[in-house]
Amino acid sequence: MDVNGRADLPEPPPVGPGKILVDPQSYQFSYVSPQESLLTKQIAIYNSGSGPLVITGVSMKEGSSPEFGLIGVPPPNYKLNPGKSTLAIARFLDSPQQEGEATVVIESNDPENPSAEVLLTSFLKASLPVPCAQLTPSALGFGDVVRGDTKVLIAELKNCSDDKPLQLTKITRSSNFFGTLTEEFQITPEPTAAIEIAPGNSIPLEVSYTPLLAGPDFGHFVIHTDDPETPKLQLDVSAVGIAPPLEQLGLSIRLSWDTNNTDVDSHLVEPGGSLFDCDSDCFFGNPSPDWGVSGDWKDDPFLDLDDVDGYGPENINISEPQPGVFTYTVHYWDDTWEGSTSQSTNATVEIYNLGTKIAEFGPVNLDATNRTWDVFSIEWPSLAITDLNTLYQTSGSGFCPGSLFP
C-alpha cells in the first residue's frame, strides 16, 4: 500500500523495440473468369512489441505477376504504437495468364524481422459439374460510423455452377493474434442449417456495423460452403467508429498535455468504483465498460483515443450517464518514449455537457512517471462538481484481461 492507502499496482512493462505481425501471411484469390469485380484482400499489420514500430514502406516484390497490386498502403514512416494496427490493401485483376504469384513486402524498424512478406496467389475455378461459390464484393468498407448508429452493407454469395446446387453451411469470424472479429459486426443469415442456393442463383449477405468504441475496426467473415475447390471464402470488413457530436454527449471529459513523447492516461471511475479496477474504471485497459443498465450503450463510457506519445487530446464520453457521483483521475504512465529523457508535463482537463464547457482544471504539473492527479468528482444529473486537486504517487497502472498494452 502507498502512503495514501492505495494498493500497489504492477509496474508498466519496459519499453523495447516494435515487433511486426502480419495477417494473413499468405492468401489465394479464387475467381471465375471473366471476373465480375475487383478482388481485394486486407493485410493487417500489428505492433506486438513494447515500443513504437515504424512502417518504412509497403511494396510489391520485384518479379511479382502484374495482375496483383496494392491499392492502399500506410504512408511512409508510419508509426504504430504498441498494440496498434493498420491496413494495406492488395488487389487482383483477372488475367489471361491465369496463373502466377506475387509477394507484398512490408518493411519496418523491427530489428528481428525488418522485411515481413505476404505471398499472394490466384486460383481460376474450372467449369466442372460441382457446386461453385463466388462472393461479390470481396470486401465491405463502412467508412466512418457514429457510435450507437448502425450502417448496413450487402455482399452477394452466388452459385456460379450451371447445374449443381450450392450449400452455405456456416459463417464464422476471423481470429488472429489480437482476438476475434468484434461483435460490432453482425451478418445475416447466420445459418443454423445448410442453406441451398440453386445453380446460377445468389443470396444476399447483409452485414451491419454498430460501433461501441471509437477507432478503426476490421477483420473478416469466413463463408463456408460445399464448393470442393474453394470451401472457404473470406468477406473482409472494415470501419471506423467515431464519437457523436459533442452536442449529443451528456458528459465529455478532455485531457491534454504539453510534452511530446509522453503518455498520460484518463481514468473515469463510476459511482462506487475504484481506480484501475477492470469493471468500474474506464481507461486504456477497459475502454468501453458496460455500466448502468446492462446492454444499454447510452450509459456506458468510451475512451475515443489512447494517445501514448504526446499532447492528446484523450476524450472519455458518455451519452446519458447513470445517476451518481463519478470521479476523474489523470495518471502519468510513461515519460520516456523512444529513448527521450525523463521529463515533466503539464496536464489540463476540460468538462463538457451537451457541447458546453462547464469546467476546466489545470494546467497541473506531473513531474515524473506514476504521478497521479485526482482531478474532480461530478454528480449526475445535477452536474455538481467537486474540485479534488490531489497529487500523489502510485506504483504503476493495472492491466485488464484482454488488454495487452497501454
Do 257 and 377 fall into the same domain? yes
Question: What are the pLDDT tens digits along the chain (406 aa)?
Answer: 343 334 444 444 455 688 999 999 999 998 888 877 889 999 999 998 877 889 999 999 999 999 999 999 999 889 887 778 899 999 998 766 556 899 999 999 999 999 999 999 998 887 678 899 999 999 999 999 998 899 999 999 999 998 899 999 999 999 876 678 999 999 999 888 999 999 999 999 999 999 987 778 899 999 999 999 999 999 999 999 888 999 999 999 999 988 877 788 899 999 999 998 989 999 888 888 999 898 788 899 998 865 545 466 889 999 999 999 999 999 987 765 555 456 788 999 999 999 999 999 989 999 888 889 999 999 999 999 999 999 998 875 556 655 444 3
Quick one: CA dihedral 309, 310, 312, 318, positive or negative? positive
Per-residue pLDDT, 305? 62
Domain boundary among 201, 216, 242: 242
- Domain count within the chain: 3
255 contact partners, CB below 8 Å, separation of at least 6: 264, 266, 312, 313, 314, 315, 330, 347, 348, 349
Looking at the structure, tell me whether residues 194 and 305 fall in a common domain: no
Distance CA 267, CA 326 (A): 10
Specify whether 269 is located in the same domain as 369: yes
366 lies in the same domain as 338:
yes
Residue 3 located in a structural domain: no
What integer pLDDT is reported at residue 22 of this predicted model? 95
Are 282 and 367 within one domain?
Answer: yes
Is 134 a member of any domain? Answer: yes
For β-strands 26-31 and 115-124, DSSP reports them as parallel
Q: What is the pLDDT of residue 21?
A: 94
* Residue 361 included in any domain: yes
Q: Which domain holds residue 56?
A: 14-124
**Residue 2 maps to a domain:** no
Collapsing DSSP to helix, strand or coil, 69 comes out as strand
Q: What pLDDT, on a 0 to 100 scale, did the predictor assign at position 349?
A: 97
Please tell me the predicted confidence (pLDDT) of residue 62: 94
Determine the pLDDT at residue 397: 56
Boundary of a domain, candidates 197, 225, 242: 242
Spatial strand order in the sheet of 195-197: 139-146, 232-242, 215-225, 166-173, 195-197
Cell numbers linked to 305: 483515443
Q: Are 278 and 357 found together in one domain?
A: yes
Query: Could you give the CA distance from residue 352 to residue 330 in angstroms, rounded to a whole number?
Result: 17
Domain stop point among 194, 227, 242: 242
Cα separation of 53 and 119, whole Å? 22
- List the Cα angle 233/234/238 in 5-degree steps: 160
Name residues whose C-beta falls within 8 Å of residue 398's C-beta, 6 or more positions apart in sequence: 9, 10, 276, 277, 278, 285
Tell me how far apart the alpha carbons of residues 271 and 252 are, in angstroms, rounded to a whole number. Answer: 16
Give the SS3 label for residue 298. helix
DSSP letter string, 244-265: PPGGG-SEEEEEEES-BS-EEE
Pair (75, 199) in one structural domain = no
- pLDDT recorded at residue 99: 67
Burial (0-12, 13-18, 19+ Cβ within 10 Å), 71 = exposed
pLDDT of residue 354: 95
Q: Are residues 207 and 325 in the same domain?
A: no
Tell me: do 159 and 284 sit in the same domain. no
From 96, 92, 168, select the one nearest 133 (Cα to Cα).
168
The per-residue pLDDT for 1 is: 36
Query: What's the CA gap between 5 and 268, in Å, rounded?
Result: 19
Write down the pLDDT at residue 173.
95
Under 8 Å between Cβ of 207 and 185: yes
Check: CB of residue 346 under 8 Å from CB of residue 362: yes
b/e per residue, 105-129, with b = 16+ CB within 10 A?
ebbbbbeeeeebebebbbebbeeee
**Both 130 and 161 in a single domain?**
yes
- Tell me: do 117 and 253 sit in the same domain: no
Which CATH number covers residue 208? Answer: 2.60.40.10
Per-residue pLDDT, 4: 38
Task: Tell me how far apart the alpha carbons of residues 256 and 240 are, in angstroms, rounded to a whole number.
Answer: 23
Do residues 258 and 222 share a domain? no
